[in-house]
Amino acid sequence: MHYGDFQIHALHEGRFTVGSDKDFVPHSEGETFPKATLFISVTPFLVITPSDVLLLDTGLGEWARGRGVEYLTEGLQRHGVAREDVTKVLFSHLHFDHAGGGVYSVDGVWRPTFPNAEYIVQKGELDAPYGEESDKARDVVADVIEDAGQLHLVEGSGFLTDEIEYVHTGGHTRDHQAFRLHTGGLIAVFGGDVLPAPNQINLRFHAKYDYNAKRSQNERTRLTQEAAEEGQLLLFFHSTTSPAAFVEEGPKGGFRIESVDV
């Protein structure tokens, strides 16, 4: 969609079932769901601005069973964007389902998927307590982009450019961040895994997969309230329905969600 001076495109990597082993198994329409699995989508976003070609998270890449970065790069190509055109990769955090597509392997050697991009990461994520598999993936991604001279560390909240604001939220991970993208008085918000899907907007819950579940809920509420008050566009990484929406306060409490195609 066109949003101010931006072009915003959802890059659907697919839908997946995820069991206790945290293995992301691609799911086809009509297939039965294995027992005790989570059903989610993985959707990075391409945002073309007057000055940058941005990626909001990079999806699973080779951390999806039987997959690679081609799902992401072919998605970019459908919008006329080559890997070399990406100028900034904005990572909400470095769990493998959000950062895995930032690197790819050639004959066993890992390389940055986007050779001309800065990769924006909260400094604290480099040693945040994740868990064994995500620790391994995080270390691969971080080491590869750092060795290539493409790692750009930030701390706290601030602005990279007049268009790109990073917001330290914590919650899902210790140093998780959201992004607010500014264009002509409009703001698009990418909440990462603090606000990953529209069906969470009207729920209050503490998720066991969060580092600090209470903080995650507080940030989810804050982001939603701000979006309703200021007319911001919300972008959802894990939505199995709409990847984007506007929200407004409902007449009887809660929020009304207006889905948007991107």
Map tokens 């059903």 to a residue: 39
Q: Exposed, middle or buried: residue 66 (CB in 10 Å: 0-12, 13-18, 19+)?
A: exposed
**In this predicted structure, what is the pLDDT of residue 2?**
96
pLDDT < 50: residue spans in the chain: none
**In this predicted structure, what is the pLDDT of residue 107?**
92
**In this predicted structure, what is the pLDDT of residue 61?**
92
Q: Exposed, middle or buried: residue 126 (CB in 10 Å: 0-12, 13-18, 19+)?
A: middle
Domains of the chain, start order: 2-260 (3.60.15.10)
Angstrom distance (rounded) from CA 255 to CA 243: 17
Map tokens 């990484």 to a residue: 237
10 dihedral zone (left: phi>0; alpha: psi -120 to 50; beta): beta
**In this predicted structure, what is the pLDDT of residue 210?**
94
Its pTM stands at: 0.94
